[in-house]
Amino acid sequence: MLNLIVALAEEARPVIHHYRLKRLHHLHAFPVYGSDDIRLIVSGMGNLAAATATGYLAGIGGVTKSSAWLNIGVAGSSSIAVGEIVLAHKVTNVIREQHFYPTLCFEVACKTAAIETVAVPQVDYVEGVVYDMEAAGFFSAAMRFSTTEMIHCLKIISDNNVGDVDNISAAGVVSLVEQRMDVIADVVGKLLEMINELAADNQGEQEMDFIRSRFYLTVSQQTQLNTLMQNWFALTDVSPLALLNIDTLKTSKALLHALQVKLDELPVKY
């Protein structure tokens, strides 16, 4: 699952339209939209709102170790032109003096930048800094549920020394996001690829948890089980639990033997 946290409805609208996300009407604390592999929540403005919405998405389920998190929104900068989009390589909570460092393990067609999260819209810009109001709250919350290579912030510059923050309109925000949907879609696609790769790497995790809950395994047997499961998923995508009659296996020794027998019967996958 890819979880998108967006502060404003105007920022969310082009993304919802692009991915044909549907409103999840049974959820009322925040507006939440979703598809089979993407969820989007409209958090409202500010650090606390972003952190709360991130935790809310995690709390409604569907979050695993391979889930990804992406904060999308507008921001201000002195040195970057209005309409440009940047991916954060550093996020700072100015008030708490906290620093977060997303791990960039894929290439994107945009610049990266340091983002400073402030409590109120910024009008005095420091050269080279991008200002927003949600990234740090989002990042600190998302780190409870995933790792830094799966947590990212994309910001579209909406105001700078030339274009004042007070002149930004709702229609203008929608237009800015629409114009950069190419980069947003690229980052979303890269994160979905990473999710699928991690899910494949973690295949068998649920089966392992189920087996451990049903059988007492010595340290040696746990090592043996890990090896058998790794070999199993190297040969097939089918769950071993679908082929083993667990209820007839009374001991961990019987389980490991049955698993080895089924493993020996599997054809080699090329």
Instruction: Please give the pLDDT value at position 198.
Output: 80
Is 73's pLDDT higher than 70? yes
82 in a structural domain: yes
Mean pLDDT over 227-233 rounds to: 83
Of 173, 201, 229, the one marking the end of a domain is 201
Q: Name the residue range of residue 223's domain.
A: 205-265
Q: Note the pTM of the prediction, 2 decimals.
A: 0.77
Number of structural domains the chain divides into: 2
- Shared-domain flag, residues 232 and 143: no
Q: Which residues, at least 6 apart from 252, have a Cβ–Cβ distance to it below 8 Å?
A: 215, 216, 217, 218, 221
Of 182, 201, 220, the one marking the end of a domain is 201
Instruction: Please give the pLDDT value at position 233.
Output: 78
Of 201, 218, 249, the one marking the end of a domain is 201
4-13, 65-74, 202-211: which has the highest mean pLDDT?
4-13
Is 15's pLDDT higher than 90? yes
180 in a structural domain: yes
270 in a structural domain: no
Instruction: Please give the pLDDT value at position 247.
Output: 83
Angle of CA points 240, 245, 248, to nearest 5°:
140
- Residue-wise pLDDT tens digits, 23-64: 999 888 999 999 999 999 999 999 999 999 999 999 998 787
Under DSSP, is residue 232 helix (H, G, I), strand (E, B) or coil? helix
- Shared-domain flag, residues 157 and 186: yes
